[in-house]
Amino acid sequence: MEIDAVDKLVLHVIEKVAEDKSNLDEVVEFVISFSREHALSPDTLLKLSFIFGNDKMYREKYIISRASALLFSGKMREDAHMEAGKTASLLGLGDPAAREFKEILKENPGNVEALCGYGAILAGIGELDNARVQYEKAFEFHPYHVDTLCNYGCLLYRLGQLDKSEEAYKKALLLDPRHVGAHCGYGILLYRRGQKTEANYHYTRALELDPGHVESNFRYARLLEEKGEPFEAEAHYIEALKADPESPKLHVFYARLLAEHGIVHGARVHFRYALKINPEDVEAHCEYAGLLARFGHRHEAEVQYKKALELDPGHFGSLCGYGNLLKEKGQYAEAEEIYRQAEHSRRDTW
């Protein structure tokens, strides 16, 4: 019976995804082979994809959507590629997402959502000019596509074209006043211009619409810190971390807030977790070392300064901090040598 086959398929996909080094493409191949062998209908696979998405099991959803795209034809194939592309983007899987969008565009060069999605992937890896090409192609087919306008606003902001960026965000919000990404992006732009009251409005509006929106919570937390409202800022860092617990940036900024207010244990926890996720973050090593040194944990501080300087031997902050630490320990000759290196590094950056 089909239901038994579906249960077996679901169990296998979940087990494979749970493996530490699961190869998603291999699981996709299994789903294709299994579906053919058991004659599973397209509707069944679509329902499975929907169920996985509903349960926030996004890797599983990506696998089923990708397999469906390779099994289906026509419009169903295009829709399945789109679901796979969007899901891969959500998971931060840039190459698989790009592959799905390119498959769609090969068959349908005028698919605006695919152009928008592919542009976002390109922007994410720093290919700003190529991203711009995709967005502008999308506008040829649909000048008022809100997601593309929002992404284009973000791209123009990154290119330093603030007036054009503002125009794109305003247009997006005129078309869809409830677009969370446009509120957040416009808030970031306004903040950069020093229009903090207006930025505050757009961050809070974004959070009214989507209380778990990561970037809006992060940006609003930073604004609240500046306004001298640390408790409110903490609440928004926590909300952001609930939604994206693997973001090293969020852990570092929350650790800074905790450190500033003397909550040493909490700050240490978040610095350590940030460095577990991204062990090559020189600034985080340096800041964590500074915190440890400040509260008398000299040996641990030295370890962190050394790690920072292994990654970047000319890092000015780490050199200065390490020099100060050595001086406190009475190692004056070693401190003097580190200070010389710091001065040399400072001159090189001029």
Tokens of 4: 């038994």
What proportion of the chain, given as a percentage, has pLDDT over 90?
80
pTM for this structure? 0.88
- pLDDT band at residue 20 using 50, 70 and 90 as cut-offs: low
Number of helices (H) and strands (E), helices first, in the chain? 20, 0
Identify the residue with better confidence: 34 or 138: 138
pLDDT at 348: 66
Kindly indicate the confidence band of residue 181, based on its pLDDT and cuts at 50, 70 and 90: very high
Q: Angle at CA 227, nearest 5°, toward 224 and 233? A: 20
| C-alpha distance from residue 242 to each of 1, 211, 250 (Å) | 41, 11, 10
Q: What is the pLDDT of residues 75-93, one digit of tens each?
A: 999 999 999 999 999 888 9
| pLDDT the model gives residue 224 | 98
| pLDDT exceeds cutoff 60 at 1 | no
Domains in the chain, please, with CATH? 1-108 (1.25.40), 265-350 (1.25.40.10)
pLDDT tens-digit map of 283-321:
999 999 999 999 999 999 999 999 999 999 999 999 999
